[in-house]
Structure 1
Amino acid sequence: MSYDALLWLSFGGPEGPDDVRPFLENVTRGRGVPPERLDEVERHYLHFGGVSPINALNRAAIAAVEPLLDLPVYFGNRNWHPLVERTLAEMKDAGVRRALVFPTSAYGGYSACRQYDEDVERARAAVPDAPELVKLRQFFDHPLFVDSFADAVRSAATPFGDDYRLVFTAHSVPLSADAAAGPPAEGGHRYSRQVAEASRLVASQVGVAEYDVVWQSRSGPPQVPWLEPDIVDHLDVLHAKGVANVVVCPIGFVSDHLEVVWDLDTEARDRAAELGLGFGRAATPNGDPRFAQLVAELVAEHVSGAPARKLSDFPAAGCTVNGAPCAPLCCEPARRPAR
């Protein structure tokens, strides 16, 4: 099957102070996030001038990928400009009839996978005669993804020799959302299981036998259980156990989202300093040339029938056509309890 383009589909982020509140309202619409939580997160963005690094990082990654493909690459976002609806209209006007979609998330789960299907479906509904869109698969266990993080961990650990505790972090989600991330027979789709598997693969590459998987960036109501422990709380636990140095690997992120630069480089680093812990943070992969090569390989699976490269036996889920989910019940949103 032939394709005319690649749509690079991401989360989006504000690019100035006036963008911050409307962006956050887009992100949280319908989720019952209390206004005081939005106020708190707004302060985080304003601490960095109201600019998220994510759009600039995506543009740099696209510039690295384009020379590796025989396809033009278009950039669209879920929550902020350039919004995917506008990008899809541009693609149609340029004569694109069928395109692949690369979502900038390696994992399953509702926000990380199924919601990108909904983005595709919404955008196509808004654009008459829209191009056909085929979303690429999840890539948390791709060897280039694992290799990039493994080298980043080694680099961050250099000042500590072998005297450090390796801690992997990913964005927390409600426990109910994690449980809804795939049928029991296809548990490999579950977000927390995939994060754990990616962490295991990276730790194995580095040669670390004992490590921790923790969470960050919780944003929901306090009465709703989320994946725990939180990274900052976990630093207190490690300090109490006599750990001297910590290397944190943001395995759940492909680039330095604001959650990385605030939750890890600011809050976690500051808490480590208060405790007297040595602190290293592994880089995220999208500035690594291997990330561009990874995207090119995912495209080649469709364009030329190249075999999928994987380091685990978890399902290679995520390939969807025009927003149709890859499997019944896969990555469904959590259902809210009846009131």
Structure 2
Amino acid sequence: MSAQNPLAPYDALLYLSFGGPERQEDVMPFLRNVTAGRGIPDERLEEVATHYRARGGRSPINDENRAVLTRLEAELAARAVQVPVVWGNKFFDPYTVEALRSAQEAGARRLLTVVTSAFPSYSGCRSYREDLAAARAELEASAAAAGAESLQIDVLRPYGQTRAFVEPMKTLTVAGLRDLCAQAGLTPEQVRILFVTHSIPEAMNAASGPTEEPSTYITMHTTVCDELAAGVRAETGVAVPWQLVYCSRSGPPTQPWLEPDVNDAIAAIAADRDEHPGEGGVGGVLIVPMGFVSDHMEVVYDLDEEAMATAGEHGLAALRVPTVRDDQRFVSGLVDLLLERARAEREAPATPGLRCPAGCCAGRSPAKPTVSDEASPADAEISPHSGESVAARGCR
């Protein structure tokens, strides 16, 4: 290991996200990028655009990423990790290829990537690895002409089940429960916890993870929910009932997606309360966006507006817990994972199981090229045998 670079063999870090508009004129181009190839007319996109336009055309996700990057760079510097940190987005400026070009121009040859999606599925994991492969291919065309070396790209595996994510989320959940009880005059027994993540098609969930471990998306979420609920019980002494629910469903109504929707779950809680009236009945819902790393449109619109309104309509007090965002414990935990990943890569031979299986989180056919899987030996990922996980991980 280089004495100057504890992250060796990596000489740059990429923070890769979804992207979002920052001005009114960005909104439609961004939505067209997200839905490219699906034949969705602009009239339908304009319906979604209203969510952004009501906020000045600005998604919160970019500012959230900037805040994380500021803390990430500070944490790396505090640990004497001096490598370029670049930021790229799959669907809007700064695009992935621009980030790779910046890293290459800074002298990087091997890049470690953190994706701002903590759970495995085609949309949350493999599609980003496809995006990286396509961006690298685009960059290689110009790099070859200039005589520059190609970038090797590794990706940190989904980290939703690691302590880096779970511990700060647990603290936020407990604090949210206490705040809700104090604000609404409730006891924990009168609250129901709704752990919320992004809905995906049932077929995508079935294909998430390695072929021998189907439905890893739901399995991993459920394990994390168990951990968070256990944290609540340890702090309050109450086993608060909880449910895993979903938001942001899209696609044709004939296509099955994961359910229940968060709004339907809130209505069902209210209906159960009405069927069993009495002292000490359910009075509130705690909405915990544990499937999200930061606040973006699925959080600030689907939860802060729609779900909160649904709770109000049904006479339920409600509070939405923050995402981990730039929480120092989350950022510090990410750096722990990055350094562990580098140590595993430096082992000779490398730690077994570092790469995603080649068919992991399969998506549309025909399969597109990816980085960081078993089919690309130069690209490796974080060990599933590490001590930082709160449970067994597999592709997780």
Does TM, normalized by the shorter one, top 0.5?
A: yes
Q: Name the aligned partner's letter for residue 168 of structure 1.
A: F
Matched, 1:133 2:153: yes
Question: Could you say which residue in structure 1 is the equivalent of 2:379?
Answer: none
Q: Which of 1 and 2 has greater Rg?
A: 2
* Counterpart selection for 2:360 from 305, 330, 338: 330
Question: Could you say which residue in structure 2 is the equivalent of 1:276?
Answer: 315
Unaligned runs of 5+ in 2: 1-7, 141-148, 182-186, 234-238, 274-281, 346-351, 367-396
CA separation in 1, counterparts of 2:331 and 2:43? 39
Q: What are the superposed Cα offsets for residues 91-128 of structure 1, whole Å, 9 maximum, x if unpaired?
A: 11111111100001111110110011101101110112
* Counterpart selection for 2:116 from 104, 118, 123: 104
Question: Could you say which residue in structure 2 is the equivalent of 1:313?
Answer: none
Question: Could you say which residue in structure 2 is the equivalent of 1:155?
Answer: 175
Q: CA deviation at 1:194?
A: 1.4
Contact 1:164–1:247 (CA under 8 A) maintained in structure 2: yes
CA separation in 2, counterparts of 1:199 and 1:40? 33
Q: Name the aligned partner's letter for residue 252 of structure 1.
A: G
Matched, 1:19 2:19: no
What SS is found at the alignment partner of 1:304?
A: helix
State the structure with bigger RCO (CA 8 A, min sep 6), 1 or 2: 1
Matched, 1:240 2:261: no
Question: Could you say which residue in structure 2 is the equivalent of 1:200?
Answer: 226
Q: Name the aligned partner's letter for residue 284 of structure 1.
A: T
Q: CA deviation at 1:144?
A: 2.8
CA separation in 2, counterparts of 1:247 and 1:33? 35
Q: What are the superposed Cα offsets for residues 62-85 of structure 1, whole Å, 9 maximum, x if unpaired?
A: 110112221221000000000010
Contact 2:191–2:240 (CA under 8 A) maintained in structure 1: no
* Counterpart selection for 1:218 from 222, 230, 249: 249
Normalised by the size of structure 2, how large is the TM-score?
Answer: 0.77
CA separation in 2, counterparts of 1:241 and 1:35? 41
Contact 1:150–1:202 (CA under 8 A) maintained in structure 2: yes
Q: CA deviation at 1:334?
A: 4.9
Q: CA deviation at 1:209?
A: 5.2
Normalised by the size of structure 1, how large is the TM-score?
Answer: 0.89
Q: CA deviation at 1:261?
A: 0.3
Question: Could you say which residue in structure 1 is the equivalent of 2:143?
Answer: none
Contact 1:34–1:221 (CA under 8 A) maintained in structure 2: no
Q: CA deviation at 1:88?
A: 0.7
Question: Could you say which residue in structure 2 is the equivalent of 1:78?
Answer: 90
Matched, 1:67 2:63: no
Contact 1:180–1:334 (CA under 8 A) maintained in structure 2: no
What SS is found at the alignment partner of 2:303?
A: helix
Unaligned runs of 5+ in 1: 307-315, 321-325
CA separation in 2, counterparts of 1:209 and 1:266? 24
Please identify, of 56-65 and 209-218, the stretch whose mean Cα deviation from structure 2 is larger: 209-218
Question: Could you say which residue in structure 2 is the equivalent of 1:285?
Answer: 324
What SS is found at the alignment partner of 1:75?
A: strand
Please identify, of 14-23 and 65-74, the stretch whose mean Cα deviation from structure 2 is larger: 65-74
Q: Name the aligned partner's letter for residue 166 of structure 1.
A: I
Alignment: residue pair count: 320
Please identify, of 9-18 and 153-162, the stretch whose mean Cα deviation from structure 2 is larger: 153-162
What SS is found at the alignment partner of 1:127?
A: helix
CA separation in 1, counterparts of 2:309 and 2:342? 47
Q: CA deviation at 1:287?
A: 2.5
CA separation in 2, counterparts of 1:231 and 1:68? 36
User: Percent identity between the aligned chains?
Assistant: 40
CA separation in 1, counterparts of 2:240 and 2:365? 37
Please identify, of 199-208 and 243-252, the stretch whose mean Cα deviation from structure 2 is larger: 199-208
Change beyond 3 A, Cα 1:31–1:205: farther
